[in-house]
Amino acid sequence: PVGVLTLYICVHYNRSSVIQLPHILIIGVRKGGTRALIEMLSLHSSVAAAQNEVHFFDWESHFQRGLPWYLSQMPYAFPDQLTVEKTPAYFTSSKVPKRIHQMNPDIKLLLILRDPTERVLSDYTQVFYNRLQKHKRYQPIESVLVKDGEINLGYKALNRSLYYVHMQNWLQYFPLESIHIVDGDELIRDPLPEMKKVERFLKLEPQINASNFYFNKTKGFYCLRDHGRERCLHDSKGRAHPHVAPAILQKLYQFFHEPNKKFFELVGRTFNWK
């Protein structure tokens, strides 16, 4: 509660607080761990994070309102803080890189990725729960993943995991040095080393340390400690995946083998994906 109160006072009475366009964008990927990443980045005192996913560069209705509107969606910050926004859909939207480049060609981009097969299952699971809650019909996972015995390329969630396809769009506008890739599987398993790399990429003073994280055995995840306040991510972040027939799962892992290889070549780095 003390942290919350301090924030309140700063926002309303500190004349030197400012609103700035983002210096850092978390561009995706959907279900990659973007919420965890922005929460962990917020542990750093030099970072001010937007609360919501703004969808400025990907939604026409927002983009047409222009930069003044975008600015109005940003959090109050101290002048020496860096502002960060995250919208996971940016990564897979082909018109977005050009628009961001027009705003700021020197912006720092963070991309958090997970094993593409795991990501597809997680993507399906989110849609599945949303439909379940609204009492809508849903299709079993096998029937969206496979069509006529082959992997269904028309399934959008599958496309979102073709990381090299999307990365090529970004690299037309930004050098690789402007895009830091966070290993989302590692961030969940052991957050500190990944966050240290993020600090270095953003040229932030090293500040995030082991005391910012503690392992919650019930959840099986790390939770965050921020000035003595403890918080864990929302439970939906750790939902179990649906059961998928092993043969289909195998097909999916095989399917991603080539796209993954292309991605590794593109970024000059490999990931421990199955």
Shortest reach from residue 225's CB to ligand NAG, in Å: 9
Shortest reach from residue 159's CB to ligand NAG, in Å: 4
34 marked among binding-site residues: yes
How far is residue 31's CA from residue 44's CA, in Å, rounded to a whole number?
23
Complex with ligand NAG: residue 56 or 170, whichever CB lies closer:
170
Complex with ligand NAG: residue 177 or 205, whichever CB lies closer:
205
Amino acid at 28: G
Complex with ligand NAG: residue 168 or 178, whichever CB lies closer:
168
Shortest reach from residue 45's CB to ligand NAG, in Å: 8
108 marked among binding-site residues: no
166 marked among binding-site residues: no
200 marked among binding-site residues: no
How far is residue 242's CA from residue 159's CA, in Å, rounded to a whole number?
19
154 marked among binding-site residues: no
Taking alpha carbons only, the member of 118, 128, 242, 113 closest to residue 184 is 113
Complex with ligand NAG: residue 52 or 216, whichever CB lies closer:
216
Shortest reach from residue 95's CB to ligand NAG, in Å: 9
| Tokens representing residue 165 in the block | 């396809």
Query: What's the chain's Rg over C-alpha atoms?
Result: 19
How far is residue 58's CA from residue 69's CA, in Å, rounded to a whole number?
14
Would you call 274 a catalytic residue per the annotation? no
Residue carrying the six token digits 């019909």: 137
Complex with ligand NAG: residue 74 or 113, whichever CB lies closer:
113
Contact residues toward ligand NAG (CB under 6 A) are 92, 94, 153, 159, 165, 207, 209, 211, 216, 218-219, 223, 230, 232
Shortest reach from residue 154's CB to ligand NAG, in Å: 6
196 marked among binding-site residues: no
Catalytic: which of 31, 86, 108, 251?
31
225 marked among binding-site residues: no
Mapped to the 3 state alphabet, what secondary structure does the chain carry? CHHHHHHHHHHHHCCCCEECCCCEEEEECCCCCHHHHHHHHCCCCCEEECCCCCCCCCCHHHHCCHHHHHHHCCCEECCCCEEEEECHHHCCCCCHHHHHHHHCCCCEEEEEECCHHHHHHHHHHHHHHHHHHCCCCCCCHHHHHEECCEECCCCHHHHHCCHHHHHHHHHCCCCHHHEEEEEHHHHHHCHHHHHHHHHHHCCCCCCCCHHHEEEECCCCEEEEEECCEEECCCHHHHCCCCCCCHHHHHHHHHHHHHHHHHHHHHHCCCCCCC
- Binding residues are 31-35, 114, 122, 222, 237-241
- Binding residues for 3'-phosphoadenylyl sulfate are 31-35, 114, 122, 222, 237-241
Looking at the annotation, which residues are catalytic?
Answer: 31
